[in-house]
Amino acid sequence: MSDSSCPRKRVLIVDDNAINRRLAIAFVTRLGMDSAEAADGPTGLAMLEVEPFDVVLLDISMPVMSGEEVLARLRADSRFSGLRVIAYTAHALPEEKQSLVEAGFDDLLIKPINLKAVEAVLADYLRG
């Protein structure tokens, strides 16, 4: 059931791997959210400067600029204070979630992802 008066939520997927981006886009779309993609941190930051997003799925290990560096820039800019940023990585264990949250991430999504995991980290936005 869709409410046309409520705009669809927008997710920016920042990952250097095209297959990972496509998979995340498929799941986000299936959950009724709009998405855009960036292949690296600088491109993601540039997109955030000109387009509004509700959530960023941010890969941690990327060339050019790491996910941690992108996050630090976002958290240092008050314009993005309400932006939900989810660490999106294959290189973290579930027990590392606390250290990522302490670094400023809102949640952790571990690759390989599945629809249930994506739905779980986006649940607040699916309701609202």
Q: pLDDT tens-digit profile of 47-102?
A: 999 999 999 999 999 999 999 999 999 999 999 999 999 999 887 777 788 888 88
SS3 of residue 32 by DSSP: coil
Please state the pTM of the whole predicted model. 0.91
CB 28 within 8 A of CB 115: no
Whether residue 1 has pLDDT greater than 90: no
Give the distance, in angstroms, between the CA of residue 66 and the centroid of all CA atoms in the same chain. 14
